[in-house]
Amino acid sequence: MSRSYRITVIALGVPEEMLEKVMTERFGWEGQADSWDDKVYFTGQGALYGGKSEHEAHDEIAGMLRSVYPEAKVCTQWTYLDDLPYEEYGDAVY
How many contiguous H segments (helices) and E segments (strands) does the chain have?
Answer: 2, 4
Look at 22-26, 76-80, 89-93 and tell me which has the smallest mean pLDDT.
89-93
CATH code of the domain made up of 3-80: 3.30.70.100
The three-class DSSP label of residue 93 is: coil
> Residue 87 region, left (φ>0) first, then alpha (ψ -120 to 50), else beta?
beta
Q: What is the dihedral of CA 67, 30, 80, 14, to 10 degrees?
A: 30
What confidence tens digit (pLDDT) does each residue in 13-57 have?
999 999 999 999 999 999 999 999 999 999 999 999 888 999 999
In angstroms, the CA 79 to CA 65 distance is 21
> Which pTM value belongs to this model?
0.87
**Rounded to an integer, what is the distance from CA 65 to the centroid of its chain?**
13
